[in-house]
Structure 1
Amino acid sequence: MTTSPYSDQWQQLLDMAGRSSDSSTNARMSLASVSAGDSGGDSDLRHSDGPWTRAAGVAEELRISVTSAKSRLTSAHEGAAAGTEGLASTGTLKSVLTSWEERLKAVQDECASLAPKLRLVAQGQGERNTEVKSSFAGLDRPTAEKAT
Structure 2
Amino acid sequence: MGQVRAEFAAAHEELAVGTEVLGVAAVLRTVRMSWERRIETAMGECGSLAGQLRAVAKDLGETDEVIAASLARVAGGGGR
Fold shared per TM-score above 0.5: yes
Q: Within 5 A, what are the aligned runs for 1:7-18?
A: none
State whether structure 2 residue 38 is matched by structure 1 residue 103: yes
State whether structure 2 residue 21 is matched by structure 1 residue 86: yes
How does the TM-score come out when normalised to structure 1?
0.34
Distance (Å, rounded) in 1 between the aligned partners of 2:55 and 2:11: 38
**Could you list the per-position Cα deviations for residues 55-105 of structure 1 after superposition, in whole angstroms to 9, with x for gaps in the alignment?**
xxxxxxxxxxx2211110101112543421232211111110111111011
Aligned to 2:48: 113
**Could you list the per-position Cα deviations for residues 18-51 of structure 1 after superposition, in whole angstroms to 9, with x for gaps in the alignment?**
xxxxxxxxxxxxxxxxxxxxxxxxxxxxxxxxxx
How does the TM-score come out when normalised to structure 2?
0.58
Give the gaps of 5 or more residues in structure 2: 60-80
The residue type paired with residue 32 of structure 2 is L
Distance (Å, rounded) in 1 between the aligned partners of 2:4 and 2:56: 29
What displacement does 1:120 show? 4.3
Q: If you compute each CA radius of gyration, which structure gives the higher value, 1 or 2? A: 1
State whether structure 2 residue 5 is matched by structure 1 residue 75: no
**Could you list the per-position Cα deviations for residues 91-140 of structure 1 after superposition, in whole angstroms to 9, with x for gaps in the alignment?**
111110111111011111111110112334667x7xxxxxxxxxxxxxxx
RMSD: 2.3
Give the gaps of 5 or more residues in structure 1: 1-65, 126-148
Distance (Å, rounded) in 1 between the aligned partners of 2:56 and 2:11: 39
Kindly tell me the number of residue pairs found equivalent between the two proteins. 59
Aligned to 2:72: none
Following superposition, which runs of at least 4 residues in structure 1 exceed 6 angstroms of deviation?
none
Kindly, what percent of the aligned residue pairs are identical?
A: 39
Q: Which has the higher helix share?
A: 2
